[in-house]
Amino acid sequence: MWVLLCAIVVFIFLLNKYLSREYDYFEKRGIPFSKPRFIVGSRMDFILRNKSFLDVFKDVHNEFRYEKVSGLFDFSNPVYVIRDPYLIKQLGVKEFDHFVDHNFLMDTDPSSLFNKALFNLQGQKWRDMRATLSPAFSGSKMRQMFELMNVVGQQFTDYLIQKTKQGEHSFEFKELARKFAVDVIATCALGIEVNSFENPENEFYQFACNLLDHLKSFFTMLKIVGFFFLPNFMLKLKVGLLRESATQFFRTAVTETIKTREEKSIIRPDIIYLLMQAKKGKLFYETEKDADKAVEGFATAEESHVGRRTVTRNWEYDDLVAQSMSFFFAGYETVSTIISFTAYELMINTDCQAKLQKEVDEVHRKLDGKPVTYDEIQRMKYLDQVISETLRKYPSPVVDRLCNKDFVLEYDDKKFTIEKGRSFYIPIGGIHYDDRYYKNPEKFDPERFNEENRGKIDPATYLPFGVGPRNCIGSRFALTEIKTIVYYLALYFNFEPTARTEIPIKVKYNPLPGNRFNLVNGAWLKCIPRKMSAV
């Protein structure tokens, strides 16, 4: 018994020595840092999961709010925190070639679809895939895909109108928004029309629900801990994040669709068609037309020189299938969350709801019974302000970058080397709530983004879609999708609280990719049909 006890003590001592071997990393460089704890480093939040991911990175930002650079420990690994706008632009844009990749891979099986997805790719392969895909998300391509989104938006509102006529007015909006997001992805990415509102048992929606449950499971969280603690061990085991059945679903859906279209010469303005063009080397970046630039939303992420290159690389089918899956992850949970929070904020801020409805009504009358167009949606200034402010309050809380070659960072009186293999975080959640950049940041105020005020915003303090060449490739798509459904909702309904509405809404920790906020008790809203005389 004494031998066993001594062995345990020695093991704990040696483990602590190993894990704490770099705990003096930032102290040597004169950089303030979050004090690490045994095993977890600065990531007790990851273990306790007692805060939302947004609140975690608000705290990270605020702990050293007036320091341009600080440090924390992802378990035993030192990670820089960059919060100064100038340094964010320097490292994220100007010196991008030193910080191309993400640090944390969510899959260690090199043959998995998840590992071939754009957000997981690194180095030259990422550059080539980014350049291959970027033409698919230009303003002109969004104009072509808008009609597909528009149909789903009308299905959403038709469903709500039907339910309210039956006396049902209280809805858990996150679930409705997920159905909308799934249907848009199905029709725009896979060429499948499913209508999850009328047919919630359809294969695609059920797959989405099952996949989300899998990603929230305890077993999946254990895998993520393994990716943090033992990346090399996980790599040797080729551990994948997704079940094989999930990846096979995408393989089957995409390859069968492509095969059918090739056999029957079907052309449909969606992502599948664009991927087919990319595989044939026929998809090229087009310089944005003035008409497209003029109607872009404030939050739209501009494509960099990386995405404007011409690529001649031959891609395998799995590479293209992986991008469809990537599109699903990026669009499903993120878009449904932003739609839910937009509706929630309009419900609380009735003055904003009324102002948006006034703008929507004017567009509706102008159209005189004709369907809303891409250009009309994009020209709506207050709608863009509402979405921009929602993205400020509910951003993806953090982005990371991995240093791929030594870089000497100089600022103020400090000078030190960020070595190859080190990484840094940009705490977007904290920056978006810093009152130095946004007065009264807890308040939902779309006027921050009106024509007079938006020019005062430093782009490095507004990062809803990330920063630099590795920003979100689908920002135009996401913004168009969100604006379309918010247009229809504002046109036909008033939002009011229900007995189940939580104010403020409660969110909990969820570090999974594409899942910004895990709502504790959902987003409950009452949808009251507007009198048609009002529109």
User: Which residues belong to the annotated binding site for heme?
Assistant: 472
Query: What letter represents residue 55's amino acid?
Result: D
Residue with tokens 């308040």: 443
- Going by C-alpha positions, the residue among 513, 393, 502 that lies closest to residue 441 is 393
- Going by C-alpha positions, the residue among 155, 517, 213 that lies closest to residue 338 is 517
Residue pair 188/180 in contact (Cβ under 8 Å)? The answer is no
Mutual orientation of helices 173-189 and 475-492 as an angle, nearest 10°? 130
Q: Which two tokens stand for residue 68?
A: 């341009």
Q: Which two tokens stand for residue 424?
A: 């840094």
Which residues belong to the annotated binding site? 472
Long-range pairs, 250-259, Cβ under 8 A, ≥24? 250/113, 250/321, 250/322, 250/324, 250/325, 250/328, 251/113, 251/318, 251/321, 253/190, 253/192, 253/204, 253/324, 254/190, 254/317, 254/320, 254/321, 254/324, 255/317, 255/321, 257/190, 257/191, 257/192, 258/317
Residue with tokens 């709801």: 353
**Cα–Cα distance measured from residue 521 to residue 507, given in angstroms and rounded to the nearest whole number:** 8
Dihedral sign for Cα atoms in the order 82, 86, 88, 93? negative
Provide the CA 254 distance to its chain's centre, in angstroms.
Answer: 23
**Cα–Cα distance measured from residue 446 to residue 462, given in angstroms and rounded to the nearest whole number:** 14
Q: How far apart are the first and last CA of the chain?
A: 81
Instruction: Give the CA angle between residues 431, 228, 108 to the nearest 5°.
Output: 115
Question: 520 CB contacts (<8 Å, ≥6 apart)?
Answer: 502, 506, 507, 508
- Going by C-alpha positions, the residue among 118, 132, 81, 56 that lies closest to residue 471 is 118
- Give the pairing type, strands 423-426 and 493-496: unpaired
Residue pair 428/398 in contact (Cβ under 8 Å)? The answer is yes
**Cα–Cα distance measured from residue 338 to residue 461, given in angstroms and rounded to the nearest whole number:** 19
Identify the bridge partners of residue 410 per DSSP, sorted by sequence position: 415
Query: What letter represents residue 158's amino acid?
Result: D
- Going by C-alpha positions, the residue among 120, 91, 107 that lies closest to residue 319 is 120
